Structure 1
């Protein structure tokens, strides 16, 4: 045998070598080159280091799709791809060279820095390729798309140029989230929200024209107070003047009590009530005296430090009903300021520090909140402060709190496209449906995307600007060379910035910004196809047939793919989307290095192998997080051992009877009910899994395939145990044919989940049975034979298994092991018809001599106890009457109705009452000489009477098991025969004679002697043991 044992540490690398040495994947690509096209668009992982376990899970899910589509004969476009630009790479390189900010990068050398970034990406890409391939990935890793390549960057320049030509590219000044840690603007889709506890403050702004009168505001961002330029009120709300000591405070009527009574613990005295519109236009003095720090034109603005109207942004949900307005510190503030001709002002620099702003110079926004509060307190205008828990935005990459800055950025104009996007999204097949709903909601609230960053490592935005503001958008290297008259070899900063354009007497220099790395990923739908350098692949494959990513990509990659595709082509870039969740530890806590609960793919593979990783991870429900469990992984590995042992069984039976199952042709009339069942199970499984895959329900396919091979082992092989071990040649041929056929079809499906073990099983079959294909992956997906599907038989088998389990449970209660035969079992059921074909199977599985089916068993006492906790929530006040009625109706009638019809039905006060199995506790007391157990549709009663003949057979079966164990310990082959002697009591010696032939067949002993004394002849092996306090000794030698 090519692969004699299942040891993942040895087997998986061997299979990987076999695939690579024999170019298995390349052969398959060649075989399918004329097949129907299928484009799987790879969502790019970051080349920022080792593969994370979540990324490994993601790549395995994707590989399931690729493998399945190839089995359907599809011609796949499955180009691997990576994210390379942006902050993750920059941070790694900065850390390597101890660089803290842009200034230090410039001292280090921008060219040297970007070269180091490029080298880092390439090094990581090669390592990640190896890691993915070790997991069994069959993506095309030969030429991954790389955003750092000249080809890819030109695909991005094509997008920017197209957006410009469509009037969808503009530069604008906006107040945006800013990540001081990365010194860059942060778009909406790059934010993550965390629950934080901040210090919120109430403070008062002195009325300019009314002494001792104050406008009271509340804020959770004290650092923005120095940048306050106005106060907003809602013109429709009711406001009041409240007397507080010698002062008058202005607040919303609805919120005044909360502040005065609750926060200050004082008694509120209202002196005046009016609408908010009366406050509009009034002025105040800034409590921190910052006016002279403002630009001169702003100091002269007539609306500076005035009350503005805003019905939209002022509510009574929290605060005071007056909202401080800093147009340079928030999009809502910016909007209101813009409407009132108050320009945004923000003196915070890229690193988050206030610059040239009086005493606040070098205070850090957000970080120095307490220092800002101290300044407010020193001014005498702090009213109160309290802890406030809320969700605050953080940078997706830095994980640090963001602030606001007013900066110039380039934007995609997309808000007016969202209705078209919503229509296109309805055509996309999403799994789960919650993902579709979430993306629909995102698109409904779509805003213009900022697309630029102020860093060095990224795709340079292809915009060349003149000093007068005029600009040229370049769409390709060829266009740039034509415009500049210069040869362009390096498209990264700083080399690209050396290229200038002279036109109409003006010199155009490149805008220093780079593109948001999300735009890189957003262009992958055509960049993966080499578009626009090539058009043939785009015309053949676009849009993508399928994509697959985690739930964080609703606002990330899914969003940018849609936006970029609409800008470029006015259509959706994908047809199907599968979304998975995140990976947590066993307690549901997110995995992180700091908590020490992180698991690496390498660690997992060392413990259990890539097959178990794929098998375990890929069954998680779509969109749902998985709480990782090593114990559940052990269960999956145990199942793979069952699969492996089934293939060894095929090889052993084939060797024993000297038959090649691949050449067998068993007619249908030779198939027993057991074979009919397992073939029905096979084809119904193929049908079910094929449908699930077509519907992109990847998370649901593992369970039915798993159930199939476990049924093959646990049900079919148990049912044919006698046939396979001591049956005639023809019987064994049927078993061999059945197990081989079902198992081969199983691994054709299961290979998309656990490819290494399936390939090893196949190669052992190939070697032994002279199969032609070089790999199990070269077969086609199994076809459904609907004529072999017998759903009724499968239901009957399910019922039979329930009865078997109930009988085994009754045996446990009676402390009778399954090797000890039972005289009789009575099965209570309202319909015995389903068991007609399966009586022998039930008897064999449970070692029962006689099986009777009855609707009622005399002597059984039934009691019914209503479950009020289940009845009450359904029927409320009728519950007492229902319980009374259940006491009137006979327990036999109630149970019969429940077990035959699903419910006991009656009327109370003209309302129909349905009592189901869950609403009552049914207790059955078995008659003397029997023990009972319930099954889904009835009960079983096991006759516990013992006879000497029954016990003799029990002893015989226990001896057979002991001898079989000894055969294994002495490493005898199944085909080896032995001479066996059993020493026992004289009484048992006589009783055993009727079981001698059975024992000889079971243990492979052509000669078997029973004796009461020690034999004189010497034997190779001997063993002494007790069964129920009776001492036995066996001797045997190989014949």
Structure 2
């Protein structure tokens, strides 16, 4: 065994060069063992727009934990990495850089601009890979993909053409969400609604040929420049006489019809609404029903165009002010009601989204959504963790609208459609028409999420029947945050069902968002973002991963905390120091030469049995993706059972030079080896470093087998006996603490046991009690010869007593016992109330009910013992 472990845990030293060693050894690649069950994960591709943030760190940590455990369990694992071109966001970043140099993309032209964008991609892809390496993620880089690479472009083109030929993709003029800053269409889920200060503007529209006026209220008065009708409800008696007549559009002096339509809510406002078919989706539908013209009064940048009369050239918000001013001056403005209302903003640029009439490409969602919904009722259903997100998914699919997939960008998958220069005929195919010179290709690109929706299978080589596609698709688990269920998860599901006849993954683990210590979402505007690389520099990557894993409950947000990061580092330092103790006390022994014989101490049998419980629980919790709970199980086993109790207890036998302590030394190494393997998926670097010192000829812990429960070591009797010993020692410590008596001071200790068998266990292991309690004398009996005045602590099987003389007054002890009595009375009442609840008794598992009954008996025994002590003390004080 290599015993050289540095005196102090230094994460920088531990991590230095380790990742490259793993890559050089090729331990992250699939085994491709045909006998092994495949297990695959595709990484949610980060955008090549900048550095990774803490949310990315959390996401890849969870995936790495899953894939590392499965690899150790013997699966043929593939974790496929990749990155997303992120059309709108990346193009905006590159254009911003160009503007700093005084250049626009139009100055460069499309080809030169794309060259610049590919340079950006390579720059930030390199940064992302470096950060992945810092995080220690065990991906197979030989299979890395990019959403704009040649293979994925082929997949995207085939998907588009297939959907078009099935009638599921169409092109038409509709109202879409328009980002005037990025000057591109957006899908509904790329629009973020937030409360903004606004107003209701009440405007009078004169009825032509009469003295009547119709009062209209709007939040966007600049759009009235494109009004083509006023609508009222056909059953609204107030306006029956006006249906079919005309109103005068203020400022524009254009006559527009008054129409009747069920869309109008008679109870809202005045019951009359303006209809602007080119600037409102509902008005667009009303306009179609009444064959109204569509007057678009805006340019793509949000400024008023030549159809906007006197306001041409003004920005839309500048025009709003001018329109309101003119309405007031000309007597049309009735009133202005200040209000806060929900306004859509571009998820990418932050600009206020404009409902805009535009010719775009769409996907017809109804049949695709229906298939995805039906699939959730089959054996091929995607299982969500936690399950409530299945409802989130279904609700969105049941209410989904057609998806606008064209984007007015240069960076992305250019739409595979051509228009004949003379006839206008549309040609859609994976390759250009033969007489390409006579055709003009659609300049638009596809929504980034269109290519991302193909990610689980396009990365495996689809549409080609590759070996990876045949072996590793469908993938097993997707890990992602809840905020992109609509953007990405749902789209992958319906696209995969459409093109592969299978769901793209079996499980979806949904995690939350990382917030700051005050619970706020991290953002640039708040300046509260945390760079994971800075955290790693201070605490080490294993501490960051432990924090992210241990704070992980499926679907829940977590708060970043420097205190928790410090605690994570302390935990690793505890493991490091415990490992140094083991290495210094086991000689040349390693995991290949351990010898666990039959001459085991109670502590030996106990720790081996506790290890099996830990292996069972951690494995079970990992299977349920309950990593936070798994972390807590590991923490208590390592810190409490192994470090605080077992290591201390081994000092008895290890310091006895006359005894053969081979088994104890072997168990120290064996248990250390086993919990390092359990910990490895969470803390890969420090576990590898320590494991290399005890592994003998093993290559890497990455390929070590994952622990499994060994039935031969399960020993409930030894666990019970050790738990009794620990309870007694803790009782002594409690008394010493309450009496302010340090461990260094010897004190007589009396242990009154309830049963003779308990006394035999205590007596057989009195060396442990003496080591941890430092008694001047120790008496263990069912009827110990105690002084009249004692301080006591009662457990369910024994009472621990220490002489009162010189420690505390009888009055103080009676007060303390009364507090304990009141606490036990409440516990007894709680259990009795629970057991009296028929609903609990009938529905809870029998084991749970029986456990509550046992608790009640224990509390009553403890209460009886405390009351007896109080009676005895009271008599002594008389």
Q: TM-score, normalised by structure 2?
A: 0.84
Q: Determine the structure 2 residue equivalent to 1:599.
A: 530
What secondary structure sits across from 2:505 in the alignment?
coil
Q: Work out the CA distance in 2 between the residues paired with 1:140 and 1:440.
A: 33
Which is bigger in relative contact order (C-alpha 8 A, separation at least 6)? 2
Q: Determine the structure 1 residue equivalent to 2:689.
A: 760
Q: Which runs of 5+ in 2 are unaligned?
A: 793-817, 841-860, 871-878
8 Å CA contact 2:222–2:316 kept in 1: the answer is: yes
Q: Determine the structure 2 residue equivalent to 1:549.
A: 480
8 Å CA contact 1:3–1:11 kept in 2: the answer is: no
Shift of 1:440: 1.8
Q: Determine the structure 2 residue equivalent to 1:927.
A: none
What secondary structure sits across from 1:618 in the alignment?
helix
Is 1:474 the counterpart of 2:424? The answer is no
Q: Determine the structure 2 residue equivalent to 1:44.
A: 45
Is 1:815 the counterpart of 2:746? The answer is no
Q: Determine the structure 2 residue equivalent to 1:644.
A: 576
Name the CA shift for 1:203/1:844 in 2 (closer, same or farther; >3 Å).
farther
Q: Determine the structure 2 residue equivalent to 1:436.
A: 390
Shift of 1:3: 4.5
What secondary structure sits across from 2:748 in the alignment?
coil
1:432-464, Cα deviation, whole Å (9 max, x unpaired): 223222212211111211110111111111111
Name the CA shift for 1:895/1:654 in 2 (closer, same or farther; >3 Å).
closer
Q: Determine the structure 2 residue equivalent to 1:392.
A: 343
Name the CA shift for 1:278/1:484 in 2 (closer, same or farther; >3 Å).
same
Q: Work out the CA distance in 2 between the residues paired with 1:797 and 1:399.
A: 62
Q: Determine the structure 2 residue equivalent to 1:145.
A: 145
What secondary structure sits across from 1:208 in the alignment?
coil
Q: Work out the CA distance in 1 between the residues paired with 2:680 and 2:352.
A: 46
Q: Determine the structure 1 residue equivalent to 2:831.
A: 903
Shift of 1:694: 2.4
8 Å CA contact 1:551–1:581 kept in 2: the answer is: yes
8 Å CA contact 2:602–2:722 kept in 1: the answer is: no
Q: Determine the structure 2 residue equivalent to 1:457.
A: 411
Is 1:195 the counterpart of 2:192? The answer is no
Q: Work out the CA distance in 1 between the residues paired with 2:791 and 2:659.
A: 48
8 Å CA contact 1:723–1:732 kept in 2: the answer is: no
Is 1:378 the counterpart of 2:329? The answer is yes
Shift of 1:765: 1.4
Shift of 1:678: 2.1
Name the CA shift for 1:732/1:322 in 2 (closer, same or farther; >3 Å).
farther
Shift of 1:390: 2.7
Name the CA shift for 1:307/1:792 in 2 (closer, same or farther; >3 Å).
farther
Q: Determine the structure 1 residue equivalent to 2:213.
A: 214
What secondary structure sits across from 1:285 in the alignment?
strand
Q: Determine the structure 2 residue equivalent to 1:1007.
A: none
Q: Determine the structure 1 residue equivalent to 2:804.
A: none
Q: TM-score, normalised by structure 1?
A: 0.71
1:750-796, Cα deviation, whole Å (9 max, x unpaired): 11111000000011113xxxx22210111111111244345676577
What secondary structure sits across from 2:142 in the alignment?
strand
8 Å CA contact 2:191–2:345 kept in 1: the answer is: yes
Shift of 1:169: 1.1
Shift of 1:7: 0.7
Once the two structures are superposed, the pairs formed by residues 261-300 of structure 1 within 5 Å of their partners are 274=237, 280-281=243-244, 283-289=246-252, 291=254
1:647-672, Cα deviation, whole Å (9 max, x unpaired): 111111113xx6556423223x4333
Is 1:87 the counterpart of 2:65? The answer is no
8 Å CA contact 2:610–2:719 kept in 1: the answer is: yes
8 Å CA contact 2:554–2:625 kept in 1: the answer is: no
8 Å CA contact 1:44–1:81 kept in 2: the answer is: yes
8 Å CA contact 2:31–2:77 kept in 1: the answer is: no
Larger Rg: 1
8 Å CA contact 1:179–1:395 kept in 2: the answer is: yes
Select which of 456, 459, 463 maps to 1:528: 459
Name the CA shift for 1:111/1:681 in 2 (closer, same or farther; >3 Å).
same
8 Å CA contact 1:200–1:385 kept in 2: the answer is: yes
Q: Work out the CA distance in 1 between the residues paired with 2:150 and 2:290.
A: 46
Q: Determine the structure 2 residue equivalent to 1:419.
A: 370
Q: Work out the CA distance in 1 between the residues paired with 2:260 and 2:312.
A: 28
Select which of 606, 619, 622 maps to 2:554: 622
Name the CA shift for 1:67/1:279 in 2 (closer, same or farther; >3 Å).
farther
Q: Work out the CA distance in 2 between the residues paired with 1:319 and 1:396.
A: 31
Q: Work out the CA distance in 2 between the residues paired with 1:751 and 1:433.
A: 28
Shift of 1:277: 6.5
Shift of 1:939: 6.4
Q: Work out the CA distance in 1 between the residues paired with 2:756 and 2:274.
A: 79
Shift of 1:942: 11
Return 597-606 or 424-433, whichever deviates more: 424-433
Q: Work out the CA distance in 2 between the residues paired with 1:604 and 1:428.
A: 35
Shift of 1:531: 1.5
Q: CA RMSD in A?
A: 3.8
Q: Determine the structure 2 residue equivalent to 1:341.
A: 291
8 Å CA contact 1:894–1:904 kept in 2: the answer is: no
What secondary structure sits across from 1:78 in the alignment?
strand
Q: Determine the structure 1 residue equivalent to 2:65.
A: 64
Q: Determine the structure 2 residue equivalent to 1:666.
A: 596
Q: Determine the structure 2 residue equivalent to 1:352.
A: 302
Q: Determine the structure 2 residue equivalent to 1:509.
A: 440
Q: Work out the CA distance in 2 between the residues paired with 1:842 and 1:386.
A: 79
Is 1:781 the counterpart of 2:696? The answer is no
8 Å CA contact 2:179–2:346 kept in 1: the answer is: yes
Is 1:361 the counterpart of 2:315? The answer is no
Shift of 1:224: 2.4
8 Å CA contact 1:432–1:622 kept in 2: the answer is: yes
Name the CA shift for 1:207/1:680 in 2 (closer, same or farther; >3 Å).
farther
Q: Work out the CA distance in 1 between the residues paired with 2:289 and 2:177.
A: 21
Shift of 1:527: 1.4
1:839-882, Cα deviation, whole Å (9 max, x unpaired): 8556654445346789xx999999xxxxxxxxxxxxxxxxxxxx
8 Å CA contact 1:221–1:366 kept in 2: the answer is: no
8 Å CA contact 2:277–2:295 kept in 1: the answer is: yes
Select which of 17, 22, 26 maps to 1:14: 17
1:178-223, Cα deviation, whole Å (9 max, x unpaired): 1111000110121222222223323332333541x33333333333
